[in-house]
Amino acid sequence: MSGFSDAPVELTGEEAKMLLSIQRYYKKNAQFISNVKIREFLKKHDISVESAEFLALQNAYIKMKYIRGIFHQMIKEYEYFKKKEHPSADLVFQKNLEEMRRVMKLRNYSFKTIKQYGNILIHCYIWLKETFKKRLDECDESEIIDYVYYCVEERKISHVYVRILRAALLFYFEQILRKPVEFHALIKIKKKKKLPDILTKNEVNLLLAQISNTKHKLLISLMYSSGLRVSETLKIKTGDVCLESKTIRVRQGKGKKDRVSIISDKQLELFEVLMRGKRADEYLIESSQKKGDPLAVRTAQRIFETALKKSGIQKKASCHTLRHSFATHLLENGTDVRMIQKLLGHKSITTTSIYTKISRASLKNVISPL
Q: What is the pLDDT of residues 294-309, one digit of tens each?
A: 998 989 999 999 999 9
Helices (H), the chain: 13-26, 35-44, 52-63, 70-83, 87-106, 111-132, 141-153, 159-170, 201-209, 214-225, 230-235, 268-275, 297-311, 319-332, 337-344, 349-353
Catalytic residue among 216, 235, 259, 346: 346
Range of lowest pLDDT (74-83, 216-225, 245-254):
74-83
Active-site residue identified among 68, 166, 217, 323? 323
DSSP secondary structure letter of residue 267? G
Please determine, looking at this structure, whether the domain spanning 84-186 carries the CATH number 1.10.150.130: yes
List 320, 338, 342, 347, catalytic entry: 320
> Catalytic residue at 159?
no
Q: Tell me what the mean pLDDT of segment 240-253 comes to.
A: 92
Query: Tell me: the pLDDT tens digits for 130-187?
Result: 899 888 888 888 899 999 988 888 888 888 888 899 999 999 999 999 988 877 777 6
Establish whether 101 is a catalytic residue: no
Residue 178 is among the residues annotated as catalytic for this protein: no
CA–CA–CA angle 311, 283, 316 (5° rounding):
25
pLDDT at 171: 95
According to the per-residue pLDDT averaged within each range, which of 132-146, 185-199, 272-286, 341-355 is highest? 272-286
The domain defined by 201-359 folds into hpI Integrase; Chain A (1.10.443)
Mean pLDDT of the chain: 87
* Gap between the Cα atoms of 117 and 136, Å rounded: 14
- Annotated active-site residue 216? The verdict is no
Kindly tell me if the per-residue pLDDT of 219 is higher than 90: yes
Per-residue confidence band for 2, with pLDDT thresholds at 50, 70 and 90: very low
Instruction: Kindly name the residue from 28, 163, 254, 290 that is annotated as catalytic.
Output: 254
Choose among 342, 363, 365, 366: nearest CA to 352: 342
pLDDT at 152: 87
Every domain of the chain with CATH number 1.10.443.10 lies at 201-359
172 included as an active-site residue: no
Task: Decide if pLDDT at 21 tops 70.
Answer: yes
Q: How confident is residue 274, by pLDDT bands cut at 50, 70 and 90?
A: very high
Of the candidates 229, 237, 259, 329, the residue annotated as catalytic is 229
Residue 60 has pLDDT above 60, yes or no: yes
| 117 noted as active-site residue | no
Torsion of CA 251, 331, 303, 214, to 10 degrees: 80
Strands 241-242 and 247-250: antiparallel
Delimiting residues of CATH 1.10.150.130 domain(s) in the chain: 84-186
Long-range contacts of 262-271 (CB under 8 A, 24+ apart): 262/225, 262/226, 262/343, 263/222, 263/225, 263/226, 264/221, 264/225, 266/221, 266/225, 267/218, 267/221, 267/222, 267/225, 268/243, 270/214, 270/217, 270/218, 270/221, 271/218, 271/241, 271/243
